[in-house]
Structure 1
């Protein structure tokens, strides 16, 4: 079967997505792809979702932070951005995400918006809720485990 001529091939836009969740969140590319499709279908409907054709191309997530590249048809980048903004959990784990940027090629998307310096992750003891606990430190944020969940805090909360 012959390929389509270049002027008839679909054009794509690539969205750089930065993910953040609690340190114990456990999901993979497949779970994130399912959440993207579900969100797009709920927001755009069946026809709009099929037209935008959102697909997760690259995905890297561990220890509560990650990155992804989501492909969308040209002309549907804003709808894709809106659908991604509607995602608040992946595989029952609460997640926050934002679109760092949109590019015309995967390479430009990675170079401009992703692969930033890895954030230093540490663990230390803090006093929280009148008890000494172990907290996960990521940058200027602290995640303190409390009764099966996490509480987010900053350095200012402990001073």
Structure 2
């Protein structure tokens, strides 16, 4: 079977995506892929989501932050961004989704936009709401552990 000529092959755009979650969560590629497909299907229907053909390529998760590349057909980058914006949880863990950038090749996308967040986290005891609590500190962000889960804070909240 012959390959299609270059002018007939599908053209792709690659979105560098960052997901941020609470310290006790774990994210997996398959779960994120499923949430992305559901979001696209709910937003554009079966035909629209199939036309955009959103696929998760690679997935790394380390210390509350996941990085991945999402492949979309050229001309459907705005659709992919909208579908990503609809994702608020993966495996019942709340997530924040951010598109760092868009590129025409996987290599350029990876080199330009990924591996940029190498913050080291540490645990620290803090006083929050007049009680001593444990907090996970990443860069200038603090996730304070409480009876109802985690609360996000910054260094300015403790000064």
Aligned structure 1 segments of 4 or more residues deviating by more than 6 angstroms: none
Please say which of residues 114-123 and 12-21 is displaced more in the overlay. 114-123
Root mean square deviation of aligned Cα: 0.9
Deviation at 1:48, TM superposition (A): 0.4
SS in 2 for 1:39: helix
What is the TM-score of this pair, normalised by structure 1? 0.97
Deviation at 1:104, TM superposition (A): 0.2
Cα distance in 1 for partners of 2:56, 2:91 equals 16
2:132 is matched with 132
Count residues with an aligned counterpart. Answer: 159
What is the TM-score of this pair, normalised by structure 2? 0.97
SS in 1 for 2:33: helix
1:82 is matched with 82
Cα distance in 2 for partners of 1:127, 1:57 equals 41
1:32 is matched with 32
Deviation at 1:62, TM superposition (A): 2.5
Cα distance in 2 for partners of 1:33, 1:99 equals 15
Cα distance in 2 for partners of 1:33, 1:156 equals 36
Alignment of 1:109-120 (within 5 A): 109-120=109-120
Cα distance in 2 for partners of 1:115, 1:2 equals 37
Contact 1:60 1:67 in 2 (8 A): yes
Contact 1:143 1:152 in 2 (8 A): yes
Contact 2:36 2:87 in 1 (8 A): yes
Deviation at 1:117, TM superposition (A): 4.5
In structure 2, stretches of 5+ residues that fail to align are: none
Cα distance in 2 for partners of 1:136, 1:75 equals 40
Q: Verify: 1:41 aligned to 2:41, yes or no.
A: yes
Q: Write out per-residue CA displacement over residues 90-138 of structure 1, whole angstroms, 9 at most, x where no aligned residue.
A: 0100000111110000000011111114112111110112211111001
SS in 2 for 1:153: strand
Contact 1:25 1:63 in 2 (8 A): no
Cα distance in 1 for partners of 2:87, 2:125 equals 32
